[in-house]
């Protein structure tokens, strides 16, 4: 392991973390959020009390506890509390509607729902008992802060995360404790510092904790014993202020957040001088944005790729591969030590380097199951391989290149087109702020390429400008037949484009979403 790196191999489960650091460094700040701060001793005591409150409410080993709220100290304390008593936390996206929340609570069988007061009015008939975060201290504060004695192992479930549900109802992905530690261990064993922690680090979580990237990143920081900085919800103005005021050294974000930070008035290299490394992922990044980020943030970058089903990251483009002009900047990265990648055709046969098919990953961090869905689990998890549903290819050195989601592929006159390729080209135009591409019905060619574009503040842009810009970089059949200017491209909290929202009006009168 490189010198000056924080790695505690004795920590094997989330339940181990707070007590370990409370004994070693009780006064080191563990988490800062919305003006509230807990050191490791305080986080340990608080999570112990919440654990005893959960036990008093009838929660036992294996039971689900749902949490609907913004990022907060209480959220992460509840995460540790559930882990300590063997319960499974079910974090819920606070942007969901009442019926969507109700589906997750009912599907998970959660006995208890902890909810922010301002979100309660949107709830329907929830099956679980509910506790309000405004009453959190009254509910938990009088319980003992004694340690818990439940034995927790790496294979025990710790969190159940619901997929975004871009098609059909969201599925509950059950992750064991090992999912949050396996990649940490692999990097340490191999002596790699692609994602590393150092004494004095302060880590900003840009990704919410109901997303696998958020809970995974937070666990890495807590395990290392550094200070985690969270925001109730990401906003670029507040993020720049936290980076500057608190001396944030590392951050985990999605690409759209990088764009928002760079668009903040008055930011320059000095604004981000404390940052030594940015880890990004969750959605493809446009090359132009990556180049600008490398120049302005002037720090190490690491790209991560994976799914909720793979326990978050399975592939990494390490800092040394972030070389301007290198074709590897287009890669998702290469598998971590102990992780394997392959690309298969529709028959499941592995494809040679350079050929596009479905990317499959075998990782020690993979999920246990989709909750209550054995057939869906068997379809995704085959002989230890996670079938990602992503289209991509490997190069000769094993680097993984992602083309797009297989289901997002556009077929124009028999030609397969991946939206991400077009988005990457259009995103290089200096006046383009964001871009999304979908396929729309076309009576002649089956589908046509349709681009949604936002314009950077102060810039002007016409469809003809984009047409001419793309003509030299894309085959003619890939060039959008229409450019539609919009105020914003809809994305979910992990930064993924919500293509279904964009498609709906075009496909509403069709029997299926292909033509």
pLDDT digits (tens, 9 = 90+) for 110-132: 999 999 988 887 776 777 788 88
Q: Which tens digits make up the pLDDT trace of 263-295?
A: 999 999 999 999 999 999 877 677 888 999 999
| Whether the predicted pLDDT of 473 surpasses 90 | no
Q: Which tens digits make up the pLDDT trace of 191-230?
A: 999 999 999 999 999 889 999 999 999 999 999 999 999 9
Tokens describing residue 273:
């001088």
Q: Which tens digits make up the pLDDT trace of 310-352?
A: 999 999 999 999 988 888 888 999 999 999 999 999 999 999 9
CA 64 to chain centre: 22
- Res 2: pLDDT: 58
- Res 183: pLDDT: 98
What CATH class has 13-152?
A: alpha beta
| Confidence band, pLDDT 50/70/90 cuts, at residue 403 | confident
| Confidence band, pLDDT 50/70/90 cuts, at residue 444 | low
Query: Bigger pLDDT: 290 or 82?
Result: 82
Using a pLDDT cut of 90, give the percent of the chain over it.
Answer: 71
Q: Which tens digits make up the pLDDT trace of 147-178?
A: 999 999 999 999 999 985 444 578 999 999 99
- For residue 244, give every residue at least 6 positions away whose Cβ sits within 8 Å of its Cβ, in sequence order, or none: 271, 274
pTM (2 d.p.): 0.84
- What architecture is domain 409-507? 2-Layer Sandwich (3.30)
**424, 287 in Cβ contact below 8 A?**
yes
- For residue 322, give every residue at least 6 positions away whose Cβ sits within 8 Å of its Cβ, in sequence order, or none: 290, 294, 300, 301, 302, 303, 329
Q: Where in the chain is the domain with CATH 3.40.50.980?
A: 13-152
Q: Which tens digits make up the pLDDT trace of 479-492?
A: 999 999 999 999 98
Would you list the DSSP string of 4-30?
A: T----TT--SGGGHHHHHHHH-TTSEE
With tokens 């290819």, the residue in question is 393
- Res 167: pLDDT: 46
Q: Where in the chain is the domain with CATH 3.30.300.30?
A: 409-507
Tokens describing residue 179:
């999912």
Q: Which tens digits make up the pLDDT trace of 496-505?
A: 889 889 988 8
| Whether the predicted pLDDT of 180 surpasses 80 | yes
- Res 442: pLDDT: 82
């Amino acid at each position: 392991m490189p010198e000056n790196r924080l790695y505690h191999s004795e920590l094997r489960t989330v339940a181990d973390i707070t007590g370990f650091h409370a004994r070693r460094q009780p006064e080191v700040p563990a988490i800062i959020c919305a003006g509230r701060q807990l050191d490791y001793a305080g986080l340990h005591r608080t999570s112990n009390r919440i654990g005893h409150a959960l036990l008093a409410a009838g929660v036992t080993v294996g039971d689900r506890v749902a949490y609907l709220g913004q990022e907060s100290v209480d959220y992460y304390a509840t995460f540790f509390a559930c882990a300590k008593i063997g319960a499974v936390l079910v974090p819920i996206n606070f942007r969901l509607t009442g019926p969507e929340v109700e589906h997750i609570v009912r599907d998970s069988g959660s006995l208890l729902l902890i909810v922010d007061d301002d979100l309660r009015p949107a709830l329907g008939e929830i099956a679980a008992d509910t506790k309000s975060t405004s009453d959190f201290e009254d509910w938990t504060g009088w319980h003992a802060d004694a340690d818990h004695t439940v034995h927790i192992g790496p294979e025990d479930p710790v969190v159940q995360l619901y997929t975004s549900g871009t098609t059909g109802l969201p599925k509950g992905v059950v992750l064991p404790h090992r999912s949050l530690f396996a990649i940490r261990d692999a990097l340490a064993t191999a002596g790699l510092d692609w994602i590393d922690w150092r004494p004095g680090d302060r880590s900003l979580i840009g990704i919410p904790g109901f997303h696998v990237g958020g809970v995974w990143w937070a666990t890495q920081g807590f395990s290392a014993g550094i200070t985690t900085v969270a925001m109730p919800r990401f906003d670029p103005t507040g993020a720049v202020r936290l980076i500057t005021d608190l001396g944030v050294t590392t951050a985990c974000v999605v690409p759209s957040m990088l764009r928002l930070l760079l668009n903040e008035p008055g930011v320059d290299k000095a604004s981000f001088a404390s940052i030594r490394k940015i880890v990004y992922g969750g959605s493809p990044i446009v090359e132009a944005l990556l180049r600008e980020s490398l120049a302005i943030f002037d720090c190490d970058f690491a790209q991560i790729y994976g799914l909720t089903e793979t326990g978050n990251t399975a592939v990494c483009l390490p800092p040394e591969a972030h070389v301007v002009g290198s074709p590897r900047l287009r890669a998702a990265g290469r598998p971590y030590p102990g992780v394997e990648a392959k690309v298969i055709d529709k028959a499941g046969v592995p494809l040679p380097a350079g050929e596009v098919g479905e990317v499959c990953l075998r990782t020690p961090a993979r999920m246990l199951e989709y909750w209550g869905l054995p057939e869906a689990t068997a379809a995704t998890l085959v002989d230890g391989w996670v079938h990602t549903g992503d289209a991509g290819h490997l190069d000769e050195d094993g680097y993984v290149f992602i083309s797009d989601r297989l289901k997002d592929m556009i077929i124009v006159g028999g030609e397969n087109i991946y939206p991400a390729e077009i988005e990457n080209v259009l995103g290089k135009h200096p006046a383009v702020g964001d871009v999304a591409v979908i396929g729309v019905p076309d009576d002649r060619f089956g589908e046509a390429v349709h681009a949604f574009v936002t314009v950077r503040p102060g810039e002007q842009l016409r469809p003809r400008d984009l047409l001419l810009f793309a003509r030299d970089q894309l085959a003619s059949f890939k060039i959008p037949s229409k450019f539609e200017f919009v105020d914003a491209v809809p994305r979910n909290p992990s930064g993924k484009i919500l293509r279904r929202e964009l498609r709906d009006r075009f496909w509403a009168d069709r029997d299926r979403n292909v033509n």
